[in-house]
């Protein structure tokens, strides 16, 4: 190794192996052919060039340049290369000729070396001699490097002590050539440095005698975690989590998913965690761990995946049987993000309940009985729940009672009493008679196949279930005996008979008036006495005097027709009916009779027969 121009800030390690290019009398020699230099240092590269002289062409015109880009025909002069602006200088001497040979020297200086300056550099010169352009191949190589701090752990990994080594690929030798710095403070001159590492510590080394420090080495800083795309994350989309941390040596990254119990599991090794088709179950906290040889840092990020409602479920509280009047709560729940709004339906008809859940019936009624379901919706979608039948149990309502047949019931007939009541569960029925505590019948219908007068009275039914009971109003049963019926028939017969007699009287009176008019005209009248049999006539006359005195004073219009009257009374099925002509007697085997009367009314001048 050769330290060159140290006093002027140079730090380059030169391999002094000349590189030359000859083409007959044209030649370029580089010294050295390879340079290893530290980043930030300054380096000089020299070359000697030769070419044949000609007395006819004195060397009055020689141009030189250095380049790394382009080729022999279109080289890019470093003085005009923007990557080297203000960092490159040429120092070229005068050309001198001896006999038929000319030669010159030229030096390239590069300041503030960068790692990007590592390249092969070539020198090119142009003269006024025939064929006077020449490039020195293969050129010379510059390698720019940093001082590096190598971290090693001579103790087991659980040790808190770390050993640092400063080195360069240029191969510095000598003891001790390095100075160590901890957090910018000089901590001594050692080949290696052993230290207890704190999380915020940084270390560097430098070549003794030169203010050229290695890059700092330090544990990772707090990682920066990002998610792409930004904004809301919808289920099914592609999402990438990225983690980066300032660290030297470069950090290695591990992604963890944090469980609800605080534990974690490894998701991925690497700087990114990618979800190609993210699910709602991927919501949660993720931890990025950045680690190098000097320490570890972690950072959390929360993923909130938005999604449409999952299938809602409907529940009722309290569970089990629901009785009228109790407090009941219907709840609808759905996994959704953001939280769903709910619409309630009863028997598939929407209810005007607020879009929240749960819903409470402070006092449930039978009319609340039905099938319920809910509809969950947010900005990402909607879904309906399963159906739930809410059955409200209640005691029987006031029973209604009926009797068949209705009205008065004849003794000996069959009678059915019926009872019905709205109840849930269905009611059971028991029949009672007023002032009688004994059960007459159990069941909805109570049938008396042969009723007698003693069974008449007020009946009621009792409807009962597991919830409660209710009594009906009284049902009045009136039983009519057969003798009463016979009396009613007899009275009816008498009324009909009287009406018939009145009709006969009316006809007789009309005939009588007609007879008076006929006598006045010389005709022969017919009398009632002549037309009616004796007993009938006497009865008719008596009734006429008592019941129809007014009718006797009415004039009787003359009639041209013959009139017939039939009086029929029936007191029993055993009566016999007899037909007779005018003047015949009425025969009967009972006190009630059937009367047949024929009244023949003739005009005064009517033809006999």
* pLDDT at residue 564, as a whole number: 44
Mean pLDDT of the chain: 79
Residues 226, 288: Cα–Cα separation, whole Å: 11
Given a cut of 60, whether residue 364 has pLDDT beyond it is: yes
Whether 425 maps to a domain, the answer reads yes
Residue 259 pLDDT exceeds 70: yes
Q: Indicate whether 555 pLDDT > 60.
A: no
Residue 169 pLDDT: 74
Categorize the per-residue pLDDT at 173 as very low, low, confident or very high, splitting at 50, 70 and 90. Answer: low
Whether 49 and 134 share a structural domain: yes
Q: Is the pLDDT of residue 55 over 70?
A: no
Average pLDDT over residues 120-139: 84
What is the pLDDT at residue 572? 37
Task: Examine residue 76 and state whether it is found in any structural domain, yes or no.
Answer: yes
pLDDT computed for residue 326 by the predictor: 94
Q: Give the pLDDT score at 160.
A: 62
- Which runs of E-coded beta strand occur in 347-492? 349-350, 359-361, 370-378, 381-384, 388-390, 392-393, 400-404, 409-410, 415-420, 428-433, 436-442, 445-448, 457-464, 469-471, 475-477, 479-480
Same domain, 234 and 122: no
Do 219 and 199 touch, CB atoms closer than 8 A?
yes
The predicted pLDDT at position 597 comes to 44
165 lies in the same domain as 199: yes
Shortest CA distance to 239 belongs to which of 303, 180, 329, 152?
Answer: 303
Domain boundary among 393, 410, 442: 393
In a domain, 159, yes or no: yes
Question: Is it the case that residue 520 has pLDDT exceeding 90?
Answer: no
Report whether pLDDT(549) > 60. Answer: no
- Whether residue 307 is predicted with pLDDT greater than 70 in this model: the reply is yes
Q: 48 and 104 share a domain? A: yes
Of the residues 242, 275, 306, which one is the last residue of a structural domain? Answer: 306
**Does 579 have pLDDT greater than 60?**
no
Whether 168 and 89 share a structural domain: no
Whether 133 shows a pLDDT value over 50: the answer reads yes
DSSP-assigned letters across all residues of 137-192: SS-EEEEEE--EEEEE-SS-TT-SEEEEEEE-TT---SSS-EEEEETTEEEE--SE
Please enumerate in sequence order all residues whose Cβ is within 8 A of that of 499, keeping only pairs 6 or more positions apart, or say none: none
Name the CA radius of gyration of the chain, rounded.
Answer: 68
Say yes or no to pLDDT of 593 above 80: no
pLDDT, mean of residues 352-356: 78
**End position of a domain, from candidates 438, 462, 480:** 480
Does 609 reside within a domain? Answer: no
Instruction: Please give the C-alpha separations between residue 357 and each of 338, 362, 371, 399, 604, in angstroms, as whole numbers.
Output: 15, 15, 17, 38, 106
- Check residues 87 and 7 and name the one with the higher pLDDT: 87
Taking Cα atoms as reference points, which of 305, 314, 284, 312 lies closest to residue 380?
305
What pLDDT does residue 323 have?
Answer: 93
- Asked whether the predicted pLDDT for residue 45 surpasses 60, the reply is yes
Average pLDDT over residues 246-275: 94
Mean predicted confidence (pLDDT) in 330-344: 92
Q: Which domain holds residue 420?
A: 400-480
Residue 230 confidence (pLDDT) above 60: yes
The least confident of 110-114, 125-129, 405-409, 504-508 is: 125-129
Q: Is the pLDDT of residue 132 over 80?
A: no
609: pLDDT strictly greater than 90? no
- Shared domain for 29 and 112, answered yes or no, is yes
Rounded Cα distance, 123 and 133, in Å: 11
pLDDT at 207: 81
Judge whether 607 lies within some domain: no
State the pLDDT at residue 588.
36
153: confidence class by pLDDT, cuts 50, 70, 90 = low
Same domain, yes or no, for 112 and 185?
no
Rounded to whole angstroms, how far apart are CA atoms 593 and 540?
A: 15
Between these two residues, 480 and 489, which has the higher pLDDT value?
A: 480
Q: What is the pLDDT of residue 192?
A: 80
- Whether residue 297 sits in one domain with residue 239: yes
Is 239 part of a structural domain of the chain? Answer: yes
For the chain, percent of residues with pLDDT exceeding 70: 75
Q: What is the pLDDT of residue 59?
A: 59
In the numeric block, the tokens 């919830």 are attached to 467
pLDDT (average), residues 574-592: 36
Percentage of the chain exceeding pLDDT 90: 42
Better-scored residue on pLDDT, 170 or 507: 507
In a domain, 26, yes or no: yes
Q: Which of the residue ranges 108-112, 160-164, 342-346, 496-500 would you say has the lowest mean pLDDT? A: 160-164
| pLDDT score, position 89 | 94
Tally of domains within the chain = 6
Token pair in block for residue 38: 């530290």
Asked if 274 and 346 sit in the same domain, the reply is no
Among the residue ranges 289-298, 456-465, 586-595, the one predicted with the least confidence is 586-595
pLDDT over threshold 90, residue 194: no
Answer yes or no: do 25 and 102 share one domain.
yes
Average pLDDT over every residue of 376-394: 93
Q: Residue 319: which CATH number?
A: 2.60.40.10
Higher pLDDT, 210 or 102: 102
Q: How far apart are the C-alpha atoms of 191 and 380, rounded to whole Å?
A: 65
Q: Is residue 271 within 8 Å of residue 284, measured between CB atoms?
A: no
Residue 83 confidence class, pLDDT cut points 50, 70, 90: very high
Report which listed range, 146-155, 465-474, 585-594, is most confident: 465-474
Summarize the confidence of residues 369-391 as an average pLDDT. Answer: 93
Same domain, residue pair 511 and 566: yes
- Give 155's pLDDT tier (boundaries 50, 70, 90): low
Q: What confidence score (pLDDT) does residue 52 get?
A: 80
The DSSP line for 199-215 is TT-EEEEEETTS--BPP
DSSP string, 25-94: TEEEEEESSEEEEETT-BEEEEEEEEEE-BTTB-S--EEEEEEEES-SSS-EEGGG-GGGTTTEEEEE--
Q: How far apart are CA 82 and CA 72, in angstroms?
A: 20
Question: How far apart (Å, rounded) are the C-alpha atoms in residues 35 and 171?
Answer: 12
Q: Which CATH number is 177's domain given?
A: 2.60.40
Q: Look at residue 1 and tell me if it is in a domain.
A: no
Residue 487 CA to residue 576 CA, distance in Å, equals 20
Mean pLDDT of the 398-408 span = 91
Is the pLDDT confidence value at 543 over 80? Answer: no
Q: Average pLDDT for residues 251-271, to the nearest whole number?
A: 94
Which pTM value belongs to this model?
Answer: 0.52
pLDDT above 60: residue 77: yes
pLDDT of 557 > 80? The answer is: no
* 346/464 same-domain check: no
Strand 305-306 versus strand 233-234 pairing type: parallel
Is 138 a residue whose pLDDT tops 60? yes
């Amino acid at each position: 190794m050769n330290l060159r121009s140290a006093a002027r800030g140079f730090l380059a390690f030169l391999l002094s192996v000349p590189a030359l290019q000859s083409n007959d009398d044209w030649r370029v020699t580089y010294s050295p052919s390879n340079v290893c230099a530290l980043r930030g240092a300054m380096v000089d590269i020299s070359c000697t060039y030769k070419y044949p002289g000609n007395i006819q062409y004195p060397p009055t015109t020689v141009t030189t340049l250095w380049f790394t880009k382009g080729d022999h025909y279109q080289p890019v002069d470093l003085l005009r290369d923007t990557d080297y602006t203000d960092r490159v200088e040429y120092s070229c001497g005068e050309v001198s000729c001896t006999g038929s040979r000319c030669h010159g020297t030229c030096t390239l200086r590069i300041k503030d070396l960068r790692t990007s300056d590592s390249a092969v550099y070539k020198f090119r010169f142009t003269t006024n001699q025939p064929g006077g352009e020449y490039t020195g191949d293969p050129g010379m190589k510059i390698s720019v490097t940093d001082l590096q701090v190598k971290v090693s752990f001579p103790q087991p990994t659980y040790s808190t002590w770390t050993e640092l080594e400063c080195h360069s690929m240029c191969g510095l030798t000598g003891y001790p050539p390095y100075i160590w710095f901890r957090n910018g403070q000089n901590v001594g001159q050692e080949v290696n440095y052993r230290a207890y590492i704190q999380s915020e510590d940084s270390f560097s080394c430098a070549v003794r005698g030169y203010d050229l420090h290695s890059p700092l080495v330090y544990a990772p800083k707090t990682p920066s975690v990002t998610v792409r795309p930004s904004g809301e994350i919808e289920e099914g989309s592609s999402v990438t989590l990225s983690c980066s941390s300032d660290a030297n040596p470069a950090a290695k990254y591990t992604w963890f998913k944090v469980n609800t119990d605080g534990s974690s599991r490894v998701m991925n090794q690497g700087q990114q965690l990618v979800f190609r088709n993210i699910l709602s179950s991927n919501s949660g906290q993720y931890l990025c761990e950045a680690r190098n040889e000097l320490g570890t840092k972690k950072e959390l990020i929360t993923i909130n995946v938005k999604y449409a409602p999952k299938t809602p479920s409907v529940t009722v509280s309290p569970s089990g049987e629901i009785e009228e009047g109790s407090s009941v709560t219907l709840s609808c729940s759905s996994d959704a993000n953001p939280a769903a709004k709910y619409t309630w339906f009863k028997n598939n008809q929407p209810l005007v309940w607020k879009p929240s859940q749960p819903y409470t019936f402070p006092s449930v009624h039978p009319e609340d009985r039905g099938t319920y379901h809910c509809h969950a919706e947010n900005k990402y979608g909607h879904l309906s729940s399963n159906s739930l039948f809410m059955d409200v149990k209640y005691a029987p309502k006031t029973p209604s009672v009926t009797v068949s047949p209705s009205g008065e019931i004849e003794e000996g007939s069959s009678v059915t009493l019926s009872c019905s009541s709205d109840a849930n569960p269905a009611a059971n029925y028991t029949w009672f008679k007023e002032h009688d505590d004994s059960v007459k019948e159990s069941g909805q219908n109570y049938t008396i196949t042969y009723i007698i007068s003693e069974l008449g009275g007020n009946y009621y039914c009792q409807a009962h279930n597991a919830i409660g009971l209710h009594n009906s109003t009284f049902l009045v049963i009136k039983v009519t005996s057969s003798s009463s019926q016979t009396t009613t028939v007899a009275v009816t017969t008498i009324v009909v008979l009287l009406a018939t007699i009145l009709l006969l009287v009316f006809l007789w009176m009309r005939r009588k008036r007609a007879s008076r008019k006929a006598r006045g005209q010389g005709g022969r009248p017919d009398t009632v006495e002549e037309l009616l049999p004796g007993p009938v006539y006497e009865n008719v006359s008596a009734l006429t005097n008592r019941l129809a005195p007014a009718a006797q004073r009415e004039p009787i219009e003359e009639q041209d027709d013959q009139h017939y009257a039939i009086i029929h009374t029936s007191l029993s099925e055993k009566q016999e009916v007899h037909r007779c002509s005018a003047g015949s007697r009425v025969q009967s085997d009972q006190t009630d009779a059937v009367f047949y009367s024929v009244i023949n009314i003739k005009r005064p001048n009517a033809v006999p027969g």
